[in-house]
Amino acid sequence: MNTNEKGFSLVELLVVVIIIAIVAAIAIPNLLASRRAANEASAISSLRTIHSSQATYQATIGGGVNYAADLPALNAAGLIDSALGANPSQKSGYDFAMTVGTTGLTYCAEAHATTQDVTGVNRFGVETDGVIWKNPTATMTCATGDLTTTGASAIQ
């Protein structure tokens, strides 16, 4: 064997591959957790936007009384972006829905993860009073302008 040959032995290459696999095994779960946290922060921010848009709509277009009937109506009024104002509405790994009470005097909006435990863990909701609720289970629902918050906790 010529002693001037240069290169890596099979053992050296395997050690490098094992080190890269260990680093990836540590980094990937942290990256996914960071993405879920970012999606949840975006969902909360979007619910704040919906709430302030509903207040603006009520004070202007709604004549001081009525809220917008749905998210596309808020988009048509130029109060929310087209991602939130679409039907169905989906943004940053969360699906959004909004309903208005039969009299138009109350509303609620909810956000739930598009893929539970992948794009997000918690379900969020807001209603007329502006309190944002969080619940990790699927029991929070928004129907006819009323948010069911059983087991949920207020975050704002």
Q: Are 49 and 84 in contact (CB under 8 A)?
A: yes
Whether 5 is covered by a domain: the verdict is no
Q: In 10 A of CB 147, how many CB atoms?
A: 22
Whether 1 is covered by a domain: the verdict is no
Q: Which domain holds residue 109?
A: 10-154
24-50 mean pLDDT: 93
Instruction: Identify the pLDDT of residue 68.
Output: 94
Whether 65 is covered by a domain: the verdict is yes
Nearest C-alpha neighbor of 108 from the set 137, 141, 83: 141
Whether 125 is covered by a domain: the verdict is yes
Residue 28 has pLDDT above 70, yes or no: yes
Whether 73 is covered by a domain: the verdict is yes
Total domains in the fold of the chain: 1
How far, CA to CA in Å, does 124 sit from each of 75, 84, 135?
Answer: 21, 15, 6
Whether 3 is covered by a domain: the verdict is no
Whether 138 is covered by a domain: the verdict is yes
Residue 80 has pLDDT above 90, yes or no: yes
Instruction: Identify the pLDDT of residue 88.
Output: 87
Whether 4 is covered by a domain: the verdict is no
Instruction: Identify the pLDDT of residue 2.
Output: 61
